[in-house]
Structure 1
């Protein structure tokens, strides 16, 4: 399951053979990144799960090893500290993704005191002007790097999170991002490969070639530089969420999905217990087919043809499977 984390990234609080919940708690965000994996999902803020609804899901997820609060931008929720405290008291590892805008030293201290284990701050380029342009906000690079420094200053583990593209792999910027993380003193680097999903859903050309993926593996030195939990190990594209029923995503509106990359939902926690939905989802035929054991399904042509390309144009996402 997540043995590599328990051995290399700090150990477990009570065993590793449990699941990982990526919990999207808001779609609201100050930015509009072209690679956002949830950027084409329906955004109606009044529909967001309430504090109590999220706590109820956490109660139903009591065996989770990791809960990763995700967005949008999670720091835009005023109850974030309350949610982190609630999750951490249940002996869970709690992670959080952020663009870094709100991470002042005081805010970072609150995150740590609430029980946050790791803060992921997104930086997509080592060049300030390029990072700002990609995400659509002047001065963002400075805010993000300062946010990393602030987190580290208060003793909060902070990793730099970055997207690899054909361009930054070819021009050496991926290596420079890794060096930037080391220069800042970051705890590590988490990288994600370009995937045709979200705002890139209709752009399969963003995918890396096998040779480009091999280049990534040559550059990324584990454990300081690692892939996300979606994958079984750092040298393959085998998807954890589709291969061993250890990972799932819940949207800000309660939709339960295999992954935030896969725009398919199997039910909503406002309508049914989480256990019922997970049993339905993990029992679906898509979890028993060939691509499950090979790669991220959104990178698989057969999976996309059967489940993604067949979604009628104009349909609101995520698409309800049953």
Structure 2
């Protein structure tokens, strides 16, 4: 079946199960939706097991358990065991808050393959301040070591913002101390709550260049030993957009806590008819649903994307970013210098370079209610 000028639809190789939006932390860079919905609407254990089965039938091989904080689901070990029996490579993406030695062993016994633990800083006080939870930093360190001792390959995730970028040396030293296998130093993506805090979080061009230089210098000095460092620059400081999810509906499928199936983490914001796994099979959703086919291929593209010789590399960039910053998801991602809306990116970067930033607003229930009450 050919869709919108592309070859037949690929299988969704990567399935992300957002088990819950509940989270014990209050990070200002949270990219989850402004409205997190009702926890009572979360998929049941039985629903998730069926979704995992249908995902494998479609061809998905990699499964991420995410959130929110997936450890807040009491059935996590049961879901991991079911996924393992189906043949998925499983990855837990966690803050480690709620993790303990007993649960690590239970996850190991269930067949979990891989764990990623997030850190906010190498400084305990700053880390706890960013996370909005006292003593979280020390607990993360203890759990990181316990996870390593249990034999899991370990990834340290650090979201890089203006709040912590000046201490990237210390963050890398912490990764070496903890014997991380991989370290992802990824600058914040400005969706959901993070977009509200963009002026407080977006680093300047100088800060990005300095941080990237320090990462490269450490890599050069390692001679292949120690953690593998990955530094992801913010697309705001680029002139071409990222190939979001390797193309809309191409390799990735995201299941939100309430069962909504999405082509990317943030797609729920778009005015599309998003199918729900409570009502439709994953096969129908992936192959035939309007939302997954809407931005597949190239037929939907406007200029400058339609005639651009880079369209097969970046797929027009991010549809959600186009919506957030231009008001229309069919526009070119404004990160692209060819976009007629690129000035909105230039203006945000100029503010960051001038040091014009406000205080970051923590993601609390009270603050969420305030933002939603004034949002048009």
Structure 1 pair 304–59 and aligned structure 2 pair: CA distance change class (3 A): farther
Q: Distance in 2 between matches of 1:41 and 1:98?
A: 21
Aligned position for 1:143? 139
197-206 or 153-162, which deviates more: 197-206
Deviations 1:23-79 (A, max 9, x none): 101111112221111152333111110001001100110021211001111111111
Query: Which one of 249, 252, 257 corresponds to residue 257 of structure 2?
Result: 252
Q: Secondary structure at the match of 1:46?
A: helix
Q: TM-score, normalised by structure 1?
A: 0.79
Query: Which one of 73, 77, 92 corresponds to residue 88 of structure 2?
Result: 92
Q: Secondary structure at the match of 1:58?
A: helix
Tell which structure's C-alpha radius of gyration is larger: 2
Q: TM-score, normalised by structure 2?
A: 0.68
Offset at residue 20 of structure 1 (A): 0.7
Offset at residue 202 of structure 1 (A): 3.6
108-117 or 247-256, which deviates more: 108-117
Deviations 1:245-285 (A, max 9, x none): 10121101001112213334621111111122223333213
Q: Distance in 2 between matches of 1:209 and 1:287?
A: 35
- Whether the aligned pair in 2 keeps the contact of 1:267 and 1:277 (CA below 8 Å) is yes
Q: Secondary structure at the match of 2:102?
A: helix
Aligned position for 1:267? 275
- Whether the aligned pair in 2 keeps the contact of 1:298 and 1:304 (CA below 8 Å) is no
**1:61 and 2:55 aligned:** yes
Q: Secondary structure at the match of 2:329?
A: helix
Query: Which one of 232, 240, 244 corresponds to residue 239 of structure 1?
Result: 244
How many positions carry a matched residue from both structures?
291
Structure 1 pair 287–238 and aligned structure 2 pair: CA distance change class (3 A): same
- Whether the aligned pair in 1 keeps the contact of 2:245 and 2:264 (CA below 8 Å) is no
Structure 1 pair 33–247 and aligned structure 2 pair: CA distance change class (3 A): same
Q: Secondary structure at the match of 1:307?
A: coil
Offset at residue 227 of structure 1 (A): 6.3
- Whether the aligned pair in 2 keeps the contact of 1:103 and 1:150 (CA below 8 Å) is no
Aligned position for 1:277? 285
Q: Distance in 1 between matches of 2:210 and 2:249?
A: 27
Offset at residue 210 of structure 1 (A): 6.8
Q: Distance in 2 between matches of 1:308 and 1:191?
A: 30
Aligned position for 2:100? 104
Aligned position for 1:224? 228
Larger relative contact order (CA 8 Å, sep ≥ 6): 2
- List runs of 5+ in structure 2 lacking aligned partners: 1-9, 306-310, 332-370
- Whether the aligned pair in 1 keeps the contact of 2:80 and 2:111 (CA below 8 Å) is yes
Q: Secondary structure at the match of 1:67?
A: strand
Aligned position for 1:165? 161
Offset at residue 100 of structure 1 (A): 1.0
- Whether the aligned pair in 2 keeps the contact of 1:119 and 1:158 (CA below 8 Å) is yes
Q: Distance in 1 between matches of 2:208 and 2:317?
A: 12
Deviations 1:127-146 (A, max 9, x none): 00011011111100001111
289-298 or 135-144, which deviates more: 289-298
RMSD: 3.3
Q: Distance in 2 between matches of 1:304 and 1:276?
A: 31
Query: Which one of 88, 107, 128 corresponds to residue 132 of structure 1?
Result: 128
Q: Distance in 2 between matches of 1:236 and 1:178?
A: 27
